[in-house]
Amino acid sequence: MSSPLKFIRPRNLNESRVLSWFSKKNTHCSISNSRIPGLNIGFNSDENQDIILEQLHVLAKETDTSLKHIAIAQQTHSDRVKVVTKGGIYPDTDAFVSSTLGISLLIQVADCGAVLLGDATHQVIGAAHVGWRGAQKNIINKTVEFMLELGADINNIKAYISPCISVDAFEVGQDVADLFPGQFVEKNLGNKPHLDLKGYIFQQLVTMGIVKSQIVMDAGCTFSDENDFYSFRREASKAGRMAAIIKLNEIG
């Protein structure tokens, strides 16, 4: 790797106790013989698993975390939330919460939203994979509820909504559009309705009681920004996955 890795560092979830990252495509750091260029950490992408493991080691080094302390979700667009106390690969899981010091939670995305959540005061973190299916199944609400059960205070929770497919690019069928309130469905962008996934995620967080000023919504669109992000809708089987990571930092 000839130049440093590029990450987004959410401004509201980076302090002494809670740290977070969102990886960019980083095509300059491609591994020899990889099918998909860049920092691809998608176990469900069309890539050799040994190469994915090598990329995960790169991420672990970047976040100053042993790979054995990173919880990685094998996502299925479900509403399944797991409370975790150690790293590892968790099947059929789309969200994590934890209060274990030193642990990192990792979500993979390539058009869906990743939502990172942290209450630094009470030392509780969460991470959720939120596509339209997860959003419709209220995975955000369930993740926040699990955090509250672990001792988080709703007034202290800060949230970050990652780059994901924008309303301009997210054309859906009428059957999907009908699952969402009309205020998040745009009907004037083409022949089919478009879904404002980011706006819906934001509203779900607010409805759960998270203070608006403590929510950061990234403006990035994974579909339109080919240089920085993978997009399954744009690249199909050739798409890699970005990583959204939140760490409950162990300090003195």
Q: For the chain, give me the number of helices (H) and strands (E)?
A: 6, 14
Any idea which of 12-26, 41-55, 82-96, 190-204 has the lowest mean pLDDT?
41-55
pLDDT reported for residue 10: 97
Distance separating the N- and C-terminal Cα atoms of the chain: 33
Domains of the chain: 9-248 (3.60.140.10)
Cα–Cα dist 64/169, whole Å: 35
pLDDT reported for residue 31: 83
Cα–Cα dist 107/95, whole Å: 8
What percent of the chain has a predicted confidence (pLDDT) above 90? Answer: 87
pLDDT reported for residue 118: 98
- 186 falls in which pLDDT band (50, 70, 90)? very high
pLDDT reported for residue 3: 56
pLDDT reported for residue 155: 98
Residue 57 has pLDDT above 70, yes or no: yes
Amino acid at 30: S
Average pLDDT across the chain, whole number: 95
| Of 132, 118, 77, 125, residue with least CA distance to 103 | 125
Residue 27 has pLDDT above 60, yes or no: yes
pLDDT one-digit tens code per residue, 90-114: 999 999 999 999 999 999 999 999 9
pTM of the model: 0.96
pLDDT one-digit tens code per residue, 187-208: 999 899 999 999 999 999 999 9
